[in-house]
Structure 1
Amino acid sequence: MIPDLSPDRIDRLRDAFLSADYHADGVMELLGSQAHAALGRGEPQPALRATADAGSLGTLVRLFLLGEAESTAAVEKALHPLSLDEATAAGLLVGGGKTVHAGLDVRPHAAAERSWWVISDLDSDLRPASTPVGTDHVLGVGHASMSLVRATSRRRVDSLLDLGTGCGVQALHASTHAQRITATDVSRRALALAAATLRLNRIDAELLEGEWFEPIAGRRFDQVVCNPPFVVGPARTDFVYRDSGLEGDDASATVVGHLPSFLNEGGTGQLLASWVHRRGEDWQERVTGWLPSEDVDAWFVQRDVADPALYVGTWLRDAGYDPRSPSGRKKASAWLDWFDAHDVEGVGFGFVTLRRTGGARGEVVCEDLRHAFDDPLGPESDAWLQRVDWLRSRDSAEALLGSRLVTASSTVLEQVSSLGEDGWSEFVNRLHRTDGPGWQHEIDELGVRLVAGCHGALPVGDLVELLAAAHGEDPAELARAAVPMLRELVRHGMLHPAEWSESER
């Protein structure tokens, strides 16, 4: 069923929210930091206490954020000028008589110094007991969608495509940097909720219905973002938001393989993706095999690998199934049988950044970044592509050695020593980058000295010759050993070209 969220109804809902201060700042001020944090942990009681006698704002918080039944009189007052009958007809409310429940999830969403509202379906924890989510369930703002938000470049672009928009959260964030937004989805329900979300926030976007890239055939964009239905398993569509109907990791492969052809030259794409780890197969070879041509820069970042049992249990709970129930056990058994039949020993998850190079041979890098770090990958993806461009312009050893490099201020050296008969002796020298993804590189003693000498005053080749002379090394051999190390350190932002300004670093 498609909710009747007409523009007129959404406009009056917006008026009600503004009148009640039902926005991110208003909710935070009402709840306070402790109750707000407890609510984020799934602990409603502090928020219930904080909203007592809080008027219309308290009613809206309990109704939409806590899933409480509220009196019809209080809800009618809180939603004015949207009538109770129209809110019910729109699917925003369910029930009748003396109390009503929320029929949709409508909540403030704060990011990028902005406060928006997002309309989606109720998650399983806010739905009435024993009511499973529907096949066309539309997710709200979750961990996956926010991880893509943090991994997306925010450079200014003219045109952006949100492929598989769902409730429209990626399009919301795109409005901060994109002049024109196109959003697609195969689900009519998702498009209806996305249209309501965008209308509620006064954001214009072109909304198109269809599978994958079909609605925008023949068009190109400066940027594409995509949170696809990437769940790995047998070919099925239990839930449109997560199941593609394709087998295994074919959904991720489809997006990676087709996305570059919908980019303008120099355009970028960012997406979440999953890939299987099969016995005897290198996951890096698997994902790079999805790329359609050589004129694509690609950065595959693996953030996690789940074993099959953990993976199945996680996604069963996500859909509201109890893994101990008969239905849950049946689904788990069929899912695990599929993993066994296809020699799957794990499922990788991460981010993919793509760029159409316009004819130049692309740089393709796969990296395992399963360690914890806080900095978002969006700015880092921009910087990574910039550094790839610089390295491509100095593709020969001579060109690189003729460059002047500067060691980044965020690069620190860790030295590990072991105790022997003659005292402590260093056996590990490790460079750390203290911001971004927190890369680490082990280097030898001469590498430490070379990096320490990178102040931008001399070409790095001159520094190599000075080191060779001081330590009795062959300068040609030392240069050959230094070049791949220098390229990796530049690629990871530990060394920068001297000509770049501080803001470019």
Structure 2
Amino acid sequence: MHPDLSADLCARLREAFLNAGYTADGVVDALGPQAHAALGRGEPEPARRASRDAGPLGTLIRLFLLGDQEAEQDVRKALDGVDINDAVKNEVLTADRSAGDLKAGLDVRPYEDNWWVIADLDSDLRGGAVPEDHVLGVGHASISLARATKRTPVGTVLDLGTGCGVQALHASTHAERITATDLSERALRLAQGTFRINGLDVETLQGEWFGPVRNRRFDQVVCNPPFVVGPPRVDYVYRDSGLAGDDASALVIRQLPAFLNEGGVGQLLASWVHRKGEDWEERVSGWLPRGGIDAWFVQRDIAEPALYVGTWLKDAGVDARSPEGRQKAAAWLDWFEENDVQGVGFGYVTLRRTDEMHSQVVCEDLRHAYDDPLGPEAARWLDNVAWLRANPDLLGQRFRVADTVLLEEVSEPGDEGWRKVVARLHRTDGPGWQHEVDEATAKLVAGCNGALPLEDLLALLEFAYGEIDAEAALPIVRDLIRHGMLIPA
């Protein structure tokens, strides 16, 4: 049996939450910044203390965010207007009638712009490992994908593998129509609750991969797939595809372009294996159909096998020291060894369908820390690639240096004073792109103030400093344009 989060139940929950102030801002205001930050670190006691004098809002905080048992009379007061029996029947609450207490049966929590998300309780609140059909709530991966997604107005969005519905929530800010799919019936039931409690009209379809939307196309596709790399098994449907290795990521990347309208954009999280003697860039590029697709692969992290296995065991609430944990870890690590996997890469993929056969495929490492969301940068990258395609003759173009670009020089002491070791151009906003440059390139970029076309700047440099290789300079200029460091004037 799965919960049936009806429109009436969700509407009553929403009204009760609003009346109590159980919103993202309301929770922060009630707890204060320190207790709220501690709760985010998995330290509940400061939040428990701060919620004592918060009335009905405090009851809801302890009930849903801390997993505490609360007196039934207090819960009824906090959820005034909600049929408690209906809430228990559909897993929102669980009852201990002998003690007269109620607990949360589902994870119902405020999220961002006064939304709420309905998911299953995580392993901490459950007090043990999650079941196979566990529906993950708002996590690091879902937030990362939301921050990496391009947000420009579109007609249609497909949220493939919606889970509890987080990506569809974000899509509601810029899409006219949203379709959400999932293989898991339980996930769709909870996602429907998420949509109803937020007053959203979202088409939901059950089925595997792209099957439910066969022969349809969308302006945008977002996907947080079950991308965990390992043997072909399904321990947990939210993360395991049943496909071996990185085949789940390959499947989505290979098939997604066929479901995009012309100019449509697909964005997803993905993983890929690193094998000895194999270039990860060639591996992921080989998943793409030939021509007609601009693709940007951004690698954010690489995990060695032991760390990777331990992280995902902990994610599911499995004690790595238990017999179950040892058995799972051994089988997983054996698979890595048998398949020569030295590490697992993780990152973001942005795809755009284009009618141009000479499409752009770029793979980049972005493993340094940065705080800005990647979504605006993905949109900028697509715009810059389109501009480069429309303007193949760069020599006749004028450029200016972005205001956030600096030239950094590193020197070391020598016999005759400081000796320059390296010079690099550094964009100080966004992902903080850096490019090492030689002296000629640094001077070329310095001359880009919008006054002269590139060919005239190269001629001046050649006159002043000797021979300049224009053909060698053009690839560097293209990279600087893609990274938003040189801007067409």
TM bucket normalised to smaller: over 0.9
Aligned to 1:497: 488
Contact preservation (8 Å) 1:298, 1:363: yes
Contact preservation (8 Å) 1:72, 1:96: no
Deviation at 1:369, TM superposition (A): 0.6
Take 2:21 and 2:76, find their aligned partners in 1: how far apart are those partners?
Answer: 16
Take 1:416 and 1:305, find their aligned partners in 2: how far apart are those partners?
Answer: 28
Deviation at 1:256, TM superposition (A): 0.1
Aligned to 1:486: 477
Contact preservation (8 Å) 1:277, 1:348: yes
Take 2:81 and 2:61, find their aligned partners in 1: how far apart are those partners?
Answer: 18
Aligned to 2:277: 280
Task: Confirm whether residue 90 of structure 1 aligns to residue 90 of structure 2.
Answer: yes
Aligned to 2:184: 187
Aligned to 1:71: 71
Task: Confirm whether residue 206 of structure 1 aligns to residue 182 of structure 2.
Answer: no
Which of these residues, 414, 417, 420, is aligned with residue 420 of structure 1? 414
Amino acid at match of 1:65: L
Q: What is the SS of the residue equivalent to 1:219?
A: coil
Which of these residues, 344, 352, 356, is aligned with residue 349 of structure 2? 352
Task: Confirm whether residue 147 of structure 1 aligns to residue 138 of structure 2.
Answer: no
Aligned to 1:308: 305
User: What is the correspondence of 1:91-170 to structure 2 with a 5 Å cutoff?
Assistant: 91-97=91-97, 98-110=100-112, 114-127=113-126, 129=127, 131-170=128-167
Take 2:402 and 2:296, find their aligned partners in 1: how far apart are those partners?
Answer: 22
Q: What is the SS of the residue equivalent to 1:493?
A: coil
Q: What is the SS of the residue equivalent to 2:16?
A: helix
Contact preservation (8 Å) 2:2, 2:90: no
**What stretches of structure 1 of length at least 5 have no aligned partner?**
499-505
Contact preservation (8 Å) 1:118, 1:167: yes
Amino acid at match of 2:154: V
Aligned to 2:268: 271
Contact preservation (8 Å) 2:399, 2:453: yes
User: What is the correspondence of 1:399-478 to structure 2 with a 5 Å cutoff?
Assistant: 399-473=393-467, 475=468, 478=469
Deviation at 1:15, TM superposition (A): 1.4
Task: Report Cα offsets for 1:153-199 as digits up to 9, x if no partner.
Answer: 00110000000000000000000000100000000100000000010
Contact preservation (8 Å) 1:226, 1:270: yes
Aligned to 2:23: 23
Take 2:157 and 2:149, find their aligned partners in 1: how far apart are those partners?
Answer: 12
Contact preservation (8 Å) 2:184, 2:206: yes
Take 1:204 and 1:293, find their aligned partners in 2: how far apart are those partners?
Answer: 36
Aligned to 1:247: 244
Contact preservation (8 Å) 1:220, 1:262: yes
**What stretches of structure 2 of length at least 5 have no aligned partner?**
none
Aligned to 2:339: 342
Aligned to 1:238: 235
Take 2:482 and 2:383, find their aligned partners in 1: how far apart are those partners?
Answer: 9
Q: What is the SS of the residue equivalent to 2:164?
A: coil
Task: Confirm whether residue 40 of structure 1 aligns to residue 44 of structure 2.
Answer: no
Deviation at 1:54, TM superposition (A): 1.9
Contact preservation (8 Å) 1:7, 1:199: yes
Task: Report Cα offsets for 1:199-244 as digits up to 9, x if no partner.
Answer: 0001111000000000000000000000000000011111000000
Aligned to 1:383: 380
Contact preservation (8 Å) 1:236, 1:244: yes
Take 1:376 and 1:132, find their aligned partners in 2: how far apart are those partners?
Answer: 32
Aligned to 1:502: none
Amino acid at match of 2:60: L
Take 1:105 and 1:208, find their aligned partners in 2: how far apart are those partners?
Answer: 23
Take 2:269 and 2:466, find their aligned partners in 1: how far apart are those partners?
Answer: 50
Amino acid at match of 1:484: P
Deviation at 1:391, TM superposition (A): 1.1
Aligned to 1:503: none
Aligned to 1:501: none
Which of these residues, 229, 253, 267, is aligned with residue 256 of structure 1? 253
Task: Confirm whether residue 226 of structure 1 aligns to residue 228 of structure 2.
Answer: no
Aligned to 1:62: 62
Take 1:13 and 1:421, find their aligned partners in 2: how far apart are those partners?
Answer: 75
Take 2:198 and 2:211, find their aligned partners in 1: how far apart are those partners?
Answer: 27
Q: What is the SS of the residue equivalent to 1:456?
A: strand
Take 1:412 and 1:180, find their aligned partners in 2: how far apart are those partners?
Answer: 42
Take 1:416 and 1:35, find their aligned partners in 2: how far apart are those partners?
Answer: 43
Contact preservation (8 Å) 2:195, 2:202: yes
Contact preservation (8 Å) 1:152, 1:378: yes
Task: Report Cα offsets for 1:132-164 as digits up to 9, x if no partner.
Answer: 211110001000000000000001100000000
The number of equivalent residue pairs is 487
Aligned to 1:49: 49
Task: Report Cα offsets for 1:320-344 as digits up to 9, x if no partner.
Answer: 1000111100000000000000000
Task: Report Cα offsets for 1:286-328 as digits up to 9, x if no partner.
Answer: 0000001211000000000000000000000101100011110
Take 1:342 and 1:289, find their aligned partners in 2: how far apart are those partners?
Answer: 19
Task: Confirm whether residue 372 of structure 1 aligns to residue 369 of structure 2.
Answer: yes
Contact preservation (8 Å) 1:137, 1:239: yes
| TM-score scaled by length of structure 2 | 0.98
Task: Report Cα offsets for 1:379-413 as digits up to 9, x if no partner.
Answer: 10110011101111233xxx111110111111101
Q: Higher mean Cα deviation, 305-314 or 420-429?
A: 420-429
Take 1:47 and 1:187, find their aligned partners in 2: how far apart are those partners?
Answer: 34
Take 1:83 and 1:312, find their aligned partners in 2: how far apart are those partners?
Answer: 43
Q: Higher mean Cα deviation, 353-362 or 293-302?
A: 353-362
